[in-house]
Amino acid sequence: MSNYGQHFSTLKTPQSESARSDQKKNSAGGFAFTLDKWARLDRWLILGADGGTYYASERALTRDNAQVVLDCLAEDGARTVARIVEISDAGRAPKNDPAIFALAMAAADSRPETRAIALAALPKVCRIGTHLFHFVRDVENFRKWGRGLRSAVARWYTAKEPDRLAQQLLKYQQRYGWAHRDVLRLSHPKAPTPQHDAAFRWCVGAPMGERGMKRMAGKEERAVQYPSRLEALPALLAAYDELKASPDPKTTAKLIRQHRFTHEMIPTEHKNSVDVWEALLEEMPQTALVRNLAKMTAVGLFKPMGEHVKLAAGMIADADRIKKARVHPIALLSALRVYQQGHGDKGKLTWAPAREIVDALDEAFYLAFQAVEPTGKNILIGLDVSGSMESGAIAGCPGLTPRVASAAMAMVTARTEKNWHIFGFTAPMNGRGYGGMHGGGAPGFTPIDISPKQRLDDVIRAIAKLPMGGTDCALPMLYAAGSDIEVDMFQVYTDNETWAGTIHPFQALRAYREKLSRPAKLAVVGMTATEFTIADPNDAGMLDFVGFDSAAPALMADFARN
């Protein structure tokens, strides 16, 4: 008698074959579901395409996602811009670059109403001068400088209070081949106050004029005295020339305290002075603090148990400062990784890491995520440690591959929940249908001996040592079913390029639910900006999340609680 069931089953289908008509072959040759355009837009805005993936170059991934932005704009321009603003303004993405790029595309849309909405959102997405330079560089790939674009960029300058404008002109003087004088000459802003006028003229190097008399029209013509533009110049700009001519670091430190100059404005020759960095630290913004920890340590400001290292550590782990500055967890994770190693990935700077700073960065990483209330659920965390997860870099940070970064993100759950278990999974390379496609030799399940009490740098090192293999995203469910583990929610961190298993992940979850009579859920955390997902879109118990979305842990907790 023939056994046709060995050739076809709706309960168990090899991942190299399609299990349903709504699946599509992924880049690895397996079959998975695809995200709709709006979910893909979220992945792009949060993850970007830095470094590409194992299967796609940065160029190919960017072009693919740019088409998604165009598709979203074509369907609903206002909704697209609103989503760009929401994710950017909330600081949910490691970098603002994808949001700026998408906004530039929206600003060139064929429909006037979409262009107007996008240009009106410019100050919400491009909050600092560097963002503005990035935008004008990107927008020139999609349109010319028309009246609408000039007016929107001009408003970026004129809507700021004079002191705030002065800070932007000095702190972010040039980037990406652009400087403020270039943008001002293209946008032609009309100064709303004498202070704005003086600042604009100072920036473009125009004559400032002298005090004099001006004829005023009225019932009776009269002459009135008006101040020179030099007198209207914001104090920060007026003092900048004095700063540039500062004869020694002590004078520079005095000027920093007097005028609140930032480190970007300081003469390079004075940046090796403890006095200068001591003055800067007193009111240093959070992002600048995180970025300059290595330099301040190298010059000797942070001495063991010293007042400055204590001050800096307290500032780093200040939840209010983190939230106000929109510091993303990935920025803190990157800073921790680099600071702990005692030397940069580029350059010759070296330093002896201060324990207080390392501990503060570790704590700040968790504080940068939205607050997560424990669910009390049983959570099984599966980390895809296959070969493809070792390619690319989260937000372009060297060494922060999806494989390593997913472990750090999973630690947020481990620090919050009481009932959890974590392991790495990779398809066994045993010559029985799994092949050697990704060059590893590991069995399918690798216990990860980590504790929420460990520092992140220890966790990263532990994950980096795990062996690699192929990708089988059904393994977490198979593992739990085979061991009769009671799970309320599976959290699977993956690039969704699954291909190596004899059963699809959604089928494995269904089989687990039936065997243990538990309505277990599956949270799929996508770590790369591809179109694929292992989550069944027709199953309300499966949901996609974006890796390193600062809101993801809180959203997953809400999902676990229904």
Structure confidence at residue 211 (pLDDT): 44
Structure confidence at residue 209 (pLDDT): 60
Do 424 and 480 lie in one domain? The reply is: yes
Do 386 and 245 lie in one domain? The reply is: no
Q: Out of 31-40, 69-78, 364-373, 508-517, pick the least confident.
A: 364-373
Structure confidence at residue 50 (pLDDT): 80
> Of 338, 367, 396, which residue sits at a domain end?
367
> Of 323, 341, 367, which residue sits at a domain end?
367
Report yes or no: 84 and 121 within 8 Å, Cβ to Cβ.
yes
76-135 pLDDT, tens digit each:
999 999 999 999 999 999 999 999 999 999 999 999 999 999 999 999 999 999 999 999
Sorting pLDDT into bands at 50, 70 and 90, what band is 496?
Answer: very high
Residue 235 CA to residue 240 CA, distance in Å, equals 9
Structure confidence at residue 468 (pLDDT): 80
Do 412 and 444 lie in one domain? The reply is: yes
* 479: helix, strand or coil: helix
- Domain of residue 532, residue span: 379-560
Do 304 and 429 lie in one domain? The reply is: no
Report yes or no: 476 and 366 within 8 Å, Cβ to Cβ.
no
335-344 pLDDT, tens digit each:
998 999 899 8
Structure confidence at residue 219 (pLDDT): 47
Q: Two tokens at 259?
A: 């005028």
Do 392 and 541 lie in one domain? The reply is: yes
Structure confidence at residue 493 (pLDDT): 94
Do 387 and 413 lie in one domain? The reply is: yes
3 domain-assigned: no
222 domain-assigned: no
21 domain-assigned: no
Q: Report the alpha-carbon angle 57-58-62, nearest 5.
A: 120
Structure confidence at residue 442 (pLDDT): 41
Residue written as token pair 């939230």: 323
Structure confidence at residue 3 (pLDDT): 53
Q: Out of 7-21, 169-183, 221-235, pick the least confident.
A: 221-235
Instruction: Give the count of domains, the chain.
Output: 3
Alpha-carbon dihedral sign for residues 540, 542, 546, 551: positive
Do 200 and 240 lie in one domain? The reply is: no
Sorting pLDDT into bands at 50, 70 and 90, what band is 455?
Answer: confident
6 domain-assigned: no
Residue 105 CA to residue 116 CA, distance in Å, equals 12
249-286 pLDDT, tens digit each:
999 999 999 999 999 999 999 999 999 999 999 999 99
216 domain-assigned: no
Residue 331 CA to residue 128 CA, distance in Å, equals 17
Q: Two tokens at 352?
A: 């002896």
551-560 pLDDT, tens digit each:
999 999 999 9
CATH number, domain of 465, equals 3.40.50.410
387-424 pLDDT, tens digit each:
889 888 887 777 788 888 888 888 899 889 999 999 88
* Ordered DSSP codes for 497-529: -----SS-HHHHHHHHHHHHT---EEEEEE-S-
Structure confidence at residue 213 (pLDDT): 35
Residue 444 has a CB neighbour count (10 Å cut-off) of: 22
* Ordered DSSP codes for 210-274: --EEEEE-SSS-EEEEE--HHHHS-HHHHHHHHHHT--SHHHHHHHHHHH---GGGS-GGGTT-H
Report yes or no: 98 and 45 within 8 Å, Cβ to Cβ.
yes
Average pLDDT over residues 505-520: 97
23 domain-assigned: no
> Of 313, 341, 367, which residue sits at a domain end?
367
Average pLDDT over residues 480-493: 95
Listed residue (215, 264, 262, 259) closest to 238, CA to CA:
259
Structure confidence at residue 106 (pLDDT): 98
Do 348 and 291 lie in one domain? The reply is: yes
Residue 196 CA to residue 193 CA, distance in Å, equals 5
467-478 pLDDT, tens digit each:
788 899 999 999
308 domain-assigned: yes
Structure confidence at residue 433 (pLDDT): 40
Report yes or no: 526 and 39 within 8 Å, Cβ to Cβ.
no
Percent helix, percent strand, percent coil in the chain, to nearest 5: 50, 10, 40
436-451 pLDDT, tens digit each:
443 343 447 777 877 8
Do 447 and 328 lie in one domain? The reply is: no
197-206 pLDDT, tens digit each:
999 999 998 7
Do 468 and 517 lie in one domain? The reply is: yes
Structure confidence at residue 6 (pLDDT): 55
Residue 446 CA to residue 425 CA, distance in Å, equals 6
136-145 pLDDT, tens digit each:
999 999 999 9
Do 295 and 162 lie in one domain? The reply is: no
Average of per-residue pLDDT values in the chain: 89
220 domain-assigned: no
Do 392 and 517 lie in one domain? The reply is: yes
